Chains A and B, each alone.
Chain A
């Protein structure tokens, strides 16, 4: 069995505050293989972005990894010194952020930003760095890349800027890409282009990707497997067809039912009643139980069963497809 590119083992992130410790990521385990895209979905505040930031070591103080492990190609990276972590960022893990309009330094040309990143990680000459930068821009679909090297970010449209951001994230050829809501700030038509681009790059380079989003449409199109997060915990993980087609966790089911589909002739979208609890006020037992239509006594006291690595079970005592058997 090959080593997965990224493996999280019981990853836990804590934020100590004056009013007690918050736990935005609670005991999350999963792995991503080379060439595989793992979609991570959930409501705002479910811990998706926090997990991505924890992997690349960019948690804003006082948030910190308080437990578990992050393994990159089998090597533990959650306890590295800052200087060693800087060698991994950009080089082995690329990251793309949500808003391409603010992700690029407005005062440097895109060529300068690309070459700087390439020279930082690869032992190449200036000319070679420029050549690689142009190839990178070419690869993400910037027309006449060579002439655009001297252009400033404000001279590009939003979609083009996100392509530049992707070129920047990938210019040192990382093995893992973390894309944090890469399409949220874009027009719908551009969204499809960017997701297609990400998918193509992962396939061509055999790169593993963690795609954080709250857009189920993007997930359905792009991801191979899906992890559903709720209140910092992993609710369900499995192949995309299974998550979309036969969700087992009631939360996943609610999430799917509340997603508009162009083809389906639903009259009304269903919504999940209530709101996700605040981190400081998590209920006992399963965090989802106050909103769960199938809640039972056990759910109020016992947190759901743990969802492990390479396990496609849901963190639910009474998963949907098994309810007939159990009850």
Chain B
């Protein structure tokens, strides 16, 4: 088990090194940053001094190594646009994105699994059929359209919920949270539904089809033949067996929720990392883009690692450590 985890961590590091190379290459291929930093009125001495200060005269491998070394300590350089450390800017923005992603992921998981189980057990009921038809909306409509529709209905027409921003946030020093104020919580509702709807319907449809498959299995029939209650058969015996594929997809989708928060954050002008990234792209603010790329890949890698560990926890057949024979 330990060897397995160490092997996975080792593989994760290789993935991160590769992503780091891609992120680093951006600096070299998207033009000369000196042009961006210094205006029209510059001297050759200014250019040279800045080149030396930024380490741009070093050979490629040295620059890459320096970049990695700094990235590992959380130093992603200075934003070209804001002239402030990138790490600081991201740390400022991260709570907004993480809170949004957390609420979306939570909604997607609980509602998705709940409705998936419900529609599988009440396979032919009208409610299950209605939910299944509605879920097509979630799977097929693009995120930005859902966001705009929600804004139109609940923000513009009904005027129930705010249409942009985080509302009032409480600053805890190292973290700003919208969970502690009414306006902060209200502001979370529309963006998190927008962001999580696709994942929710995906998880629901997946849980449903896995559940239908499992309910056909002999051990479910045998559990019924032993007179176990419907609750025990459906949840203890059936749901647990649907979990392995669900964990795989859910893990990747949670990564996607964070990565694709860009669209939702743009639609709702949510002051998170995604919006920061879009603005960075517009201004070719490469240190910010590179840092964002690294951050997202670290999250994906960590989630994948977690998924692999969860598999083993859920399915005893994967525990190949020779503890039993």
B222 & A97 in contact (Cβ 8 Å cutoff): yes
Interface residue B121 (Cβ < 8 Å from any Cβ of A):
no
Partner of A97, one of B221, B232, B316, B317: B221
State A211–B72 Cα separation when bound (angstroms).
Answer: 68
State A91–B324 Cα separation when bound (angstroms).
Answer: 32
Binary A-proximity of B219-236 (CB < 8 A = 1, otherwise 0) = 101111111110010001
Interface residue B83 (Cβ < 8 Å from any Cβ of A):
no
Interface residue B237 (Cβ < 8 Å from any Cβ of A):
yes
Interface residue A321 (Cβ < 8 Å from any Cβ of B):
no
Q: List 11 A-B contacts (CB under 8 A).
A: A58-B221, A89-B224, A90-B226, A95-B222, A102-B219, A105-B223, A105-B241, A120-B226, A151-B324, A152-B316, A152-B317
Given contacts A165-B222, A172-B226, 7 further A-B contacts (CB under 8 A): A58-B225, A86-B228, A99-B218, A102-B218, A102-B219, A120-B228, A154-B317
Q: Which residues of A contact B317 (CB under 8 A)?
A: 106, 152, 154
Q: Which residues of A contact B225 (CB under 8 A)?
A: 56, 58, 89-90, 94-95, 97, 169
A105 & B237 in contact (Cβ 8 Å cutoff): yes
Binary A-proximity of B195-230 (CB < 8 A = 1, otherwise 0) = 000000000000000000000011101111111110
Interface residue B141 (Cβ < 8 Å from any Cβ of A):
no
State A105–B226 Cα separation when bound (angstroms).
Answer: 13
Q: Which residues of A contact B224 (CB under 8 A)?
A: 58, 89
B222 & A168 in contact (Cβ 8 Å cutoff): yes
Q: Which residues of A contact B325 (CB under 8 A)?
A: 155
Binary B-proximity of A91-116 (CB < 8 A = 1, otherwise 0) = 10011010100111111110000001
Q: Which residues of B contact A108 (CB under 8 A)?
A: 236-237, 240
Residue among B222, B228, B232, B325 having the largest count of chain A Cβ atoms under 10 Å: B222
| Contact (A104, B226) CB under 8 Å given A151-B324, A152-B317, A154-B317 | no
Partner of B240, one of A94, A107, A121, A152: A107
B219 & A103 in contact (Cβ 8 Å cutoff): yes
A107 & B314 in contact (Cβ 8 Å cutoff): yes
Q: Which residues of B contact A97 (CB under 8 A)?
A: 218, 221-222, 225
Pairs A-B, 6 closest by C-beta atoms: A90-B227, A89-B227, A90-B226, A102-B218, A95-B225, A152-B316
Binary A-proximity of B307-325 (CB < 8 A = 1, otherwise 0) = 0000000111100000011
| Contact (A121, B227) CB under 8 Å given A102-B217, A103-B218 | yes
| Contact (A107, B218) CB under 8 Å given A86-B229, A116-B228 | no
Q: Which residues of B contact A205 (CB under 8 A)?
A: none
Partner of A116, one of B222, B232, B240, B241: B232
State A242–B324 Cα separation when bound (angstroms).
Answer: 49
Interface residue A117 (Cβ < 8 Å from any Cβ of B):
yes
Partner of A169, one of B226, B228, B229, B316: B226
State A116–B225 Cα separation when bound (angstroms).
Answer: 13
Q: Which residues of A contact B228 (CB under 8 A)?
A: 86, 90, 116-117, 120
State A151–B317 Cα separation when bound (angstroms).
Answer: 11
State A155–B232 Cα separation when bound (angstroms).
Answer: 24
Chain A positions 29-53 with a Cβ under 8 Å from a chain B Cβ: none
State A169–B237 Cα separation when bound (angstroms).
Answer: 16
Interface residue A88 (Cβ < 8 Å from any Cβ of B):
yes
A107 & B316 in contact (Cβ 8 Å cutoff): yes
State A142–B309 Cα separation when bound (angstroms).
Answer: 32
Q: Which residues of B contact A94 (CB under 8 A)?
A: 225-226
State A99–B324 Cα separation when bound (angstroms).
Answer: 23
Chain A positions 58-101 with a Cβ under 8 Å from a chain B Cβ: 58, 86-91, 94-95, 97, 99
